[in-house]
Amino acid sequence: MKSLVAKCKQFLRSEEAPTATEYAVMLALIIVVAIVAVSLLGEKVSETFGDVTQGMTPGGAGS
């Protein structure tokens, strides 16, 4: 029983496990931000290309 308590204390003092968890949380947040940014920019870019295409076609807004 004492060895189990000693191992638990050693694990809690160790900085490797919390550091790995912090990196995992940071990575998850970065992925979420990247997905949101791509989604928002994707819609804007699509609208812009649509406007340009419409302006270049005969009978479009540019005529």
Residue 27 structure tokens: 């990575």
- pLDDT, position 60: 56
Distances (CA, A) of 42 to 29, 31, 32, 47: 20, 16, 15, 9
- pLDDT, position 32: 96
Contact 48, 41 (CB under 8 A): no
Supply the pTM of this predicted model: 0.49
Q: Where are the domains of the chain?
A: 12-49
pLDDT tens digit string along 36-45? 998 888 888 8
- pLDDT, position 9: 78
